[in-house]
Structure 1
Amino acid sequence: MTIETANSFKGRLFYLGVSILINCFFNALTVATNMGSAIWTASAVNLAQALNIPLGTTLFLEGVVVALANLLLLGEFDYFRLGRNLMFIIPFSYCLAGFEHLFVWIGVPNFPLWARFLLDFIGLVGVAQAVSIYQRANLIIHPNDDLPYILRFRFMKGSPVWSQWASNVPPILIILICWIITKKLSVINIGTIINIAFQGALIGWGDTHIFPKLHHHLEFKTTKINP
């Protein structure tokens, strides 16, 4: 695929579809291993248990709240951006829940510890690469990933690491509140620590190594980006 084709509307739409499937698949894999999920997914799992509502519904509601917060960061009520965020939430939330049921049915939670850790690590890397792809395509983005995207290019001079760390604060607070309420933590493990520490770096790596012909397509005011 040429650079022009990759960055055309059809090319970006193709990459978007691929990235959603990759993200759902690997996010669900991390949940099923119970070795530590991506921090936002972990917050949704714990919130679902604290509120006693389905995971898919929790992912959807959490996404709506974050989508509204993103508009505050942009300083304008962008109906189009909000609509695009919500368009991502619906298929993502229930697709992830479906894959999670599949992995449980296969028996992933009962795999040996070493196998679950390996699958969890693969899942975390896969999630980061999916985020890199659909952030660059920038047609529709999950609000949880739009948050670090806005922070990265509007406030943090293009740094995927610092923006990712900053965006981890809300889900960490959600997890702490859920822990206070339920006195237990779910899908929080070594993989969660890996996600918090290295997600930004993995996204930055994916920007230049996974489908490198696909470029970032920004539509809001940015700060100067470091070379």
Structure 2
Amino acid sequence: MASKQHRLTGTQSAIYLIISITLNALGNGITVSLNLGSALWTASAVNLSHLVGGDLKLLLMLIGFIAIIVNMILLGGIQWRRAINNLVFMIPFSILVGYSATMFNQWHLDNLPLVLRIVLDLFGIVMIATAVSIYQRVNILLHPLDDFMQIIRFKFFKGNAPIAMWVSFIPPVTMSLIAIFISHRIYAINIGTIFSLLFQGSLVGWADRHVFKTLKHQGLDKLMTAKHQ
């Protein structure tokens, strides 16, 4: 699926990244504010944090660091620039999600009728999937977990987004099941989580084809062979 399109300019890349990070932050902010289920990785971290009594932010950071190491293993070598870019992405993204959730909390979305809240929550998931599609295609700055999905998508599944997403969800689902089995309690899992599990990969693939149609995947050759940098 490597694209023959000319390489993006720095300005084009920056614009796409700003749009995608903003979309992702807003989508996460909506789902967090509505409290109708977090995305899979977040939900697993929440359940694990309740089990071990750890800080959620630190746990999410730890998961991100582990993902960076796993990504290096999958690529067959150390790519320091890629790892640093993953870390650079996490900082502004985490801040924006916090601001976004606070903003939507002030709008009291949780007071809306249930049907409207469900529609907004699912729309938030669609926003997240669209954002993932955009910055995966730009392929400069990615969250380590989204980079993990992209690596297995193109390295093992010939670009098939739904299958790659489901495979990438095996670790968080396993973590959640273990935590729930031990604690006998369920946290942060609701309709939004189920929707994300079933359809996020398909939504990413849909956005690839229909959102910014001229934006093609950049630098896919780097997913096939690791370059020591």
After superposing on structure 2, the runs of 4+ consecutive aligned residues of structure 1 that deviate more than 6 Å are: 3-6
**Matched residue, 1:211:** 212
Aligned to 1:135: 136
- Residue 82 of structure 2: aligned partner: 81
Residue number in structure 1 paired with 2:44: 43
The aligned counterpart of 1:220 is 222
Letter of the 2:222 counterpart: F
Task: Indicate how the Cα distance of structure 1 residues 221 and 26 shifts in structure 2: closer, same or farther if over 3 A, else same.
Answer: closer
**Structure 1 residue 222 displacement after superposition:** 3.9
- Give yes or no for the alignment of 1:66 onto 2:95: no
Instruction: Give the partner amino acid of 2:104.
Output: F
Deviations 1:173-196 (A, max 9, x none): 221233235432222112211111
Q: 1:17-76 CA distances to partner (integer Å, 9 max, x unpaired)?
A: 111111011012112212222212222333344444554433322211111111111111
Give the conservation status (yes or no) of the 8 Å contact 2:31–2:124: yes
Partners of 1:111 and 1:51 in 2: CA distance: 34
Equivalent pair of 2:24/2:131 in contact (CA under 8 Å): yes
Q: Return closer, same or farther for 1:198/1:155 CA change in 2, 3 Å cut-off.
A: same
Aligned partners of 1:49 and 1:135: how far apart in 2?
A: 32
Rounded Cα–Cα distance in structure 2 between residues aligned with 1:34 and 1:6: 40
Q: After superposing the two structures, state which structure 1 stretch, 157-166 or 212-221, moved more.
A: 212-221
Letter in 2 for 1:126: M
CA apart distance, 1:132:
0.2
Structure 1, unpaired ranges of 5+? none
Label 1:154 to 1:167 Cα distance change in 2 as closer, same or farther (>3 A).
Answer: same
Residue in 2 aligned with 1:93? 94
CA distance in 2, matches of 1:5, 1:175: 42
2:5 and 2:216 in contact (8 A); partners too:
no
- How big is each residue's C-alpha offset from its partner over 1:71-110, in whole Å with a ceiling of 9 and x where there is no partner? 1111111111111111111121232133223322322233
The separation in 1 between residues aligned to 2:58 and 2:135, in whole angstroms, is: 22
Q: Which residue of 2 aligns with 1:107?
A: 108
Q: How does 1:24-35 map to 2 (within 5 A)?
A: 24-35=25-36
1:195 alignment partner AA: S
* RMSD across aligned positions (CA): 2.3
Q: Compared with structure 1, are the counterparts of its residues 95 and 52 closer, same or farther at alpha carbon in structure 2 (3 Å cutoff)?
A: farther
Percent of pairs with identical residues: 41
Give the 3 Å change call, closer, same or farther, for CA 57–21 of structure 1 in structure 2: farther
CA contact (8 A) 1:34 1:188 kept: no
Structure-1-length-normalised TM-score: 0.88
**Relative contact order, higher structure (CA 8 A, sep 6+):** 2
Distance 1:98 1:108 in 2: 15
Contact 1:22 1:126 in 2 (8 A): yes
